[in-house]
Amino acid sequence: MEDLTIAELVAMQNALQDKMKGKWLPIVPENGHFSLLWMFEEMGELVAIIKKRGSEAIMDDTDVRESFIEELSDVLMYYIDLITCYGVSPAELMTAYLAKHQKNMNRDFVTEHAEYTGKS
């Protein structure tokens, strides 16, 4: 299986939203905070797996790993809903991501942290 593009993920999520129209809240800016909250809830489920089962189980136990990856997928689905709520296009997201990556590649995180905390 090949990697999915952000545009493909958005299209898949839009198809799911269309299927659930009238049953789920619409994906509009006024409901964006719900997508964010539900994404946080799914992140909490990820934390619970890491905390209760541990990294070793995630790497070695097929059932735990499947649960972990399913929760990651839930986080990604709500993330896609969130960007869709606010009309962020895949192109806008990729442009911002690439710019942020370049900025991070040129940053000195150690020095920034020391300056922020006041510790040298």
Measured between alpha carbons, how far is 42 from 94 in angstroms, rounded to an integer? 24
d(CA 82, CA 28): 9
Nearest to 76 by CA among 18, 12, 1: 12
Tokens encoding 85: 């709520």
Backbone angles phi, psi at 2, to 5 degrees: -85, 165
Q: What is the pLDDT of residue 10?
A: 97
- With tokens 């659930």, the residue in question is 20
pLDDT at 118: 86
pTM of the model: 0.88
Kindly tell me the burial class for residue 45, based on how many C-beta atoms sit within 10 Å of its own C-beta (0-12, 13-18, 19 or more).
middle
In a 3-state reduction of DSSP, which class is residue 21?
Answer: strand
Please report, for the chain, the start and end positions of each structural domain, with discontinuous segments joined by +: 7-15+25-88, 89-120
Taking 70 as the pLDDT cut, the residues of the chain under it are 1, 120
Predicted confidence at residue 95, as pLDDT, reads 98
Q: Tokens for 32, please give them.
A: 């964006």
Q: Which residues are registered as beta bridge partners of 112?
A: none
Architecture per CATH, 7-15+25-88: Orthogonal Bundle (1.10)
pLDDT value at residue 13: 96
User: For position 119, what pLDDT does the model report?
Assistant: 82
Q: How far apart are CA 6 and CA 113, in angstroms?
A: 32
Provide the pLDDT for residue 62: 98
